[in-house]
Amino acid sequence: MARTRLPLIAGNWKMNGLTADALALAKAVAAGVKQGGWTDREVLICPPVTLLMAIAEAVKGSGLLVGGQDCHVKASGACTGDVSAEMLKDVGASHVIVGHSERRTDCGETDAVVRDKAEAAWRAGLLPIVCIGETLAEREAGKAFDVLETQLKGSVPVGATAATLVVAYEPVWAIGTGKTPTTPDVAAAHAHIRKVLGGLVPGAAGVRLLYGGSVKGSNAAELLAAGDVDGALVGGAALKADEFLAIAKAV
């Protein structure tokens, strides 16, 4: 069956990459994307902010998209060490990840902060990828769907549409662990997310839902074929060009 939503394969490099190796990685991914010549999927990398400008420049014309991993809620001001959505846009970003579980946990980001960051992305003309996901304890307590619903209701700004929102479902226990939910579990979580979005976003059927957590070349085809999965948010496997391109090809 033809897909109605344009798949998005996004690589989150997290805090990895020094100039030489990172540029080589970005160029290798860009070459693969250019060779793929895909019009039926989008491929995005989110490198560390220090390399964003150089990488955006290096991959120009390849079709590979570049995004940020986080942004501040304000456009500018006295916020030492922070980076605004406008700054990301200024150096070539088209997307920004907001509300990644590592930031929710390590930086205490609440749903309200994530929502404000998604709005900041809009203000700057970026497409926010809003991350949600339950912990293992929440899953084992049978609360996963409640957690996803609470996070969505708190993190998705009023006024979101299918064109201005991407949601990434990343079960915290699957991130960097090599563990993934079963395909039916992924499909069930995504169906639940889409149902909740139905009450929040007009045209929720068109919102792209990415799965993230231990996606690699060998499991991508199966995960991407699960119901309501419109792409992947990839961590570790995004740091190897051939592995990341294998995921992009698996769409």
> Residue 233 interacts with ligand 13P (CB under 6 A)?
yes
- On the 0-12 / 13-18 / 19+ scale of CB atoms within 10 A, 222 is middle
Task: Note if 100 is an active site residue.
Answer: yes
Considering only the stretches 26-34, 55-63, 159-167, 206-214, report the one whose residues sit in contact with ligand 13P under the rule CB under 6 A.
206-214
Please identify which residue in 197, 234, 245, 250 interacts with ligand 13P, judged by CB under 6 A: 234
- Residues 128 and 157: their CA atoms lie apart, in Å, by 11
Site residues for ligand 13P, window 74-113 (CB under 6 A)?
Answer: 100
> From the candidates 95, 100, 190, 192, which is the catalytic residue?
100
- Residues 137 and 45: their CA atoms lie apart, in Å, by 31
Considering only the stretches 53-61, 156-164, 170-178, 223-231, report the one whose residues sit in contact with ligand 13P under the rule CB under 6 A.
170-178
Cβ proximity of 233 and 209 under 8 Å = no
Cα 75 to Cα 54, 82, 120, 122, 186: the distances in Å are 22, 10, 7, 11, 36
Least gap, CB of 39 to ligand 13P (angstroms): 25
The SS3 call for residue 98 is strand
> Residue 68 interacts with ligand 13P (CB under 6 A)?
no
> Which active-site residues does the annotation give?
100, 170
Which residues of this protein are in contact with ligand 13P, per CB under 6 A?
12, 100, 170, 175-176, 212-215, 233-237
